[in-house]
A and B are shown apart, each in its own frame.
Chain A
């Protein structure tokens, strides 16, 4: 629920909205707001636009910094109640507000991006105005940036819902009017969706409603504030995988019918800018250690969920040691599928422990991916990801069989 709203220009209906979810973003909100304003003014001077900050009741001056930023387009400030946290909670307030604003196109842009360009507004909004229902970006990524997407989210969503959306958890997206009312009724909401699960929740709902999906090529890396990466990934993993598993039940009639996968529309694909991704160091030893330790810590639970053959395979993988470490994609796919079934069948209070037990196995899969691709170019590593996706798709029959209880 919207706890507070400020609408100094008295905006009622608009054509375009760019929304910025925030929590304590005083350092960057003015810059992002200005860039958005320049983009809206430059590319859509004849449409009525609004810039909306949907805030988690920040106490650092985010609200003031936003409202005091000089813009040509009107601004609206929304806030959730004190203590109500999460990007999803922010966007839920936005969806509620969009019902009366009735825009044709809505773009969501994260507040901590340091290199946002006015062109990005066009890159996200234009595909919607040309008929797409949902837009996700293709930023220039290092091969080890967003392994959560490469190893879990991309292959899993692609296998289940049949659409190849490469960077669905990038944090930025756009959608059209057809989705506003659906989002506003918040079907299948959860505490995970209220936080980081919101991005895939929106995408999966869009896919379920058969909205044409477009991937827009940005041609630049996304530079944003570095938080504690380890803590962030652990939380994100639980919330994203929890959301993926949660949504499998209400959408089972859809995903159980889907075979193989299909591409999306591309926008701005002529852009062949050879921007270099941000270099990243990955500590394979630490990933392997986390995997190995987790296998011991969660052995009892894993024994209950995974087959004897899978447990043997995990022990065999560990015994290879770091030099020859290889976690086969087939094993990873069937483990995820078995976990999804166990998660569905578990009482709700036991579900978080299943996600915790899966986390070290994820680190093992990441270690294997890094080992396999360390001498590869980004393009070659991308082919490894594509091949992994095919393994997921080829083994969907196993998931179907387990899901139906065979």
Chain B
């Protein structure tokens, strides 16, 4: 069972993602900020990270650079309410992005693709 780490400072998003992704057959862990995120990834070894771009204390795009530099092939899906982030070069380091929605069909599709891609490289 693939383990997914959801990083988002909004509690209702963490709850929604957790429930839906567990129902879809994934193991889910959550974090409410980017604090010690690299250590968390190191210890929990998730197969994929769903990362909020705009958190109160952290910029998801900066966290993404840190993750990519340390965990080259770890899939990261950016989750955002705004798509203006695409103008930022840093977003190129993400596997995919999804616009936040209560319908998680797109997120689940992107998760499946990212996990499949990673597996095919191993």
Q: Which residues of A contact B (CB under 8 A)?
A: 130, 138, 162, 164, 166, 210, 212, 215, 217, 257-266, 269-272, 379, 383
CB contact under 8 A between A265 and B86, given known A258-B120, A260-B116:
no
Q: Which residue in A259, A260, A265, A272 is a CB contact (below 8 Å) of B89?
A: A272
CB contact under 8 A between A266 and B89, given known A259-B120, A260-B116:
yes
Contact partners of B121 in chain A: CB under 8 A = 162, 210, 258, 262
Q: Which residue in A259, A265, A383 is a CB contact (below 8 Å) of B68?
A: A265
Chain A proximity of B80: nearest CB distance (Å): 15
Contact partners of A269 in chain B: CB under 8 A = 65, 89-90, 92-93
Q: How far is the CA of A383 from the CA of B86 in the complex (A)?
A: 9
A-B contact pairs, 5 of them (CB 8 A): A130-B69, A138-B89, A162-B121, A217-B89, A266-B90
Contact partners of A215 in chain B: CB under 8 A = 92
Contact partners of B119 in chain A: CB under 8 A = 259
Besides A164-B92, A166-B92, A266-B65, 17 other A-B contacts (C-beta < 8 A): A162-B120, A212-B72, A257-B120, A258-B120, A260-B116, A261-B117, A262-B73, A262-B121, A263-B92, A263-B95, A264-B68, A264-B92, A269-B65, A269-B89, A269-B93, A270-B90, A271-B89
Pair B117/A162 contact, Cβ less than 8 Å: yes
Indicate whether B88 reaches chain A with its CB closer than 8 angstroms: yes
Q: How far is the CA of A379 from the CA of B121 in the complex (A)?
A: 29
Contact partners of B93 in chain A: CB under 8 A = 263-266, 269
Q: How far is the CA of A271 from the CA of B88 in the complex (A)?
A: 10
Q: How far is the CA of A272 from the CA of B87 in the complex (A)?
A: 10
Contact partners of B113 in chain A: CB under 8 A = 259-260
B42-77 toward A: CB 8 Å interface, digit per residue (1/0)? 000000000000000000000001001100110100
Chain A proximity of B59: nearest CB distance (Å): 11
Indicate whether B94 reaches chain A with its CB closer than 8 angstroms: yes
Contact partners of B87 in chain A: CB under 8 A = 379
